[in-house]
Amino acid sequence: MLNALQPRLAGWRAQLPLIWHLARQELVDRHKGSVIGKAWTLIGPLINILVFVLVFSRIMGARLEGFGAEIDQYTYSIYLICGILAWTAFAKSLSSITNLYAERAHLITKVKVSLKALPASVLLAESIIYAISMAFFAAFLWLIGFPFSAWWLGVPLVFALQLAFTYALGLLLAILAVYLKDIKEAVAVLLPVLFWTTPIVYVSDILPEWVMGYMRFNPIYQLVDAYRDLIMYHQWPGGLGLIGVALATLALLLTALWLLKRTERDLRDCL
């Protein structure tokens, strides 16, 4: 078992510098030639956090119940940021992975690059953005005196699960998108639908009972809810939901790998 895994792992390691380079290209090189260059990578996430904090606490004054008066005015912002950062990472990764093979066709048709490894560069880039955003978020929480706890350590674990889910779903869609151009459009249209049907900007309490019954099957809801449990409520998220996501990930991954194995030769001809 381990022996069979060895060459595969070596294959992945050989692709690592390339993946890292492509991620870097997304993050840093894209801003090359602009005056402040690399700083743009930081400015985007910072402005986002500031907007969520200022607009929803100071200007609109939205609040949720349950915390001390000091923090109270920020609770909606915290609630929102927990969900929306994770959502942004998911949505941006998924849509770029879906178009990945067409977008990188000039590369895939010229040099040998693993189709399985390529999506990892997108995930890496988005993870770094997420980490930067979370750092700003944590700094903000510290500033307003929000209590931290060891539950924060669970965030990377949940995020790893989110990455795995995004990878599996993305790989499947990317393969299909080579054959069906419609996939790209469909993803672009369906992502906002998923965004608004998931309690990210609103609180799940406002949804009718029967809708919440189905919400269990929404992996994004499970993930977002888990982040909130860890960060806001300092508790381990209800286990079953995340296990469901993990199982779904596994099923998607196996399907995607089977499909890739079956069609890779054709797929490369097609690009």
Partner 1 sequence: MITVNDLHKSFKLFAKPADRLLEALTGRARHATHVALDGVSFQVGEGEVLGVLGRNGAGKSTLLKLMTGVLLPDAGQIHIDGRVTGLLELGTGFNPELSGAQNITANALMLGMTHEEIDARRQAIIDFSELGDYIHEPLRTYSSGMVMRLGFAVAIHADPACLLVDEALSVGDGYFQQKCMKRIREFKEQGGAILFVSHDLNAVKVLCDRALVLEDGRVVHEGDPEGAANLYNRIMARQAEEEEGRHQARQHGAYGTYQVEITGASALGRRSGSTTLSSGETLEVSLDLHARQALEDVALGIMIRDRFGQDVFGINTHQRQGPFRLTAGERRRIHLAIEAAIAPGKYTITLALHSGDHHLDDCYWWHDSALQFEVAGYLGPKFSGLCRLPCEIDLNASDQGLPEKEST
What is the token pair recorded at 209?
A: 């009972």
CB of 112 to partner 1, least distance (A): 4
Least distance (Å) between residue 31 CB and partner 1:
9
Tokens 């919440």 found at: 212
The site for partner 1, by CB under 8 A, has a size of 29
Decide whether 251 or 270 has the Cβ nearer to partner 1.
270
Residues 264, 113: Cα–Cα separation, whole Å: 12
Q: Which residue reads 């200022």 in tokens?
A: 54
Q: Which of residues 92-131 bind partner 1 (CB under 8 A)?
A: 106-113
CB count within 10 Å of CB 257 equals 15
Q: Give the Cα separation of 188 and 227 in Å (integer).
A: 25
User: For residues 33-92, which are near partner 1 according to CB under 8 A?
Assistant: 33
Q: Which is nearer to partner 1, 168 or 183 (CB)?
A: 183
For position 7 contacting partner 1 by CB under 8 A, the verdict is no
Q: Restricting to residues 171-190, name those near partner 1 by CB under 8 A.
A: 176, 178-181
Q: Please name which of 23, 80, 33 lies closest in space to residue 57, comparing C-alpha atoms.
A: 80
- Report the distance separating Cα 170 and Cα 100, nearest Å: 9
Least distance to partner 1, CB of residue 196, Å: 30
Given a contact cutoff of 8 angstroms between Cβ atoms, the answer to whether 158 and 226 are in contact is yes
261 binds partner 1 (CB under 8 A): no
Q: How far apart are CA 188 and CA 95, in angstroms?
A: 7
Stretch near partner 1 under the rule CB under 8 A, chosen from 51-59, 63-71, 133-141, 261-269 = 261-269
| Interface positions with partner 1 (CB under 8 A) | 14, 17-18, 21, 25, 29, 32-33, 106-113, 176, 178-181, 262-266, 268-270
